[in-house]
Structure 1
């Protein structure tokens, strides 16, 4: 059960997730991906492979926009926080 009033930290995480998905990923602003990912990030892909390192992760994401240029995140149906504290 969630608390009646959501902690400010959860609201900030929602805002950060919005910025990452709606602006950085959807806008292909790869130079900003380091705001949310460590340089040593390990990314696990749906096909079972993984990549190590932010630079490699970015290079693996770029082709998605070649075959599907309108790729974008438009909604987050699940939120950690809702409303103001």
Structure 2
């Protein structure tokens, strides 16, 4: 019985993890023309915290940063990118 409960708990946790992963979106945000780039710095910070993944930085000016993140993080990064757009 204990093994069955453990198995059920494990499978439930996997289901929760899978549903959280499926909510993540793949997006592109633009960096700014500032040095250091505040958008890039925030992406790197969030990557270290595990809040973004699959980060690809294209060598363009301004930077194009492709990443995967949950909808809340996506909105924050898009807002930061928009805020710094006026410096372009």
Establish whether TM, by shorter chain, passes 0.5: no
More strand by share: 2
TM-score by length of 2: 0.26
TM-score by length of 1: 0.26
More helix by share: 2
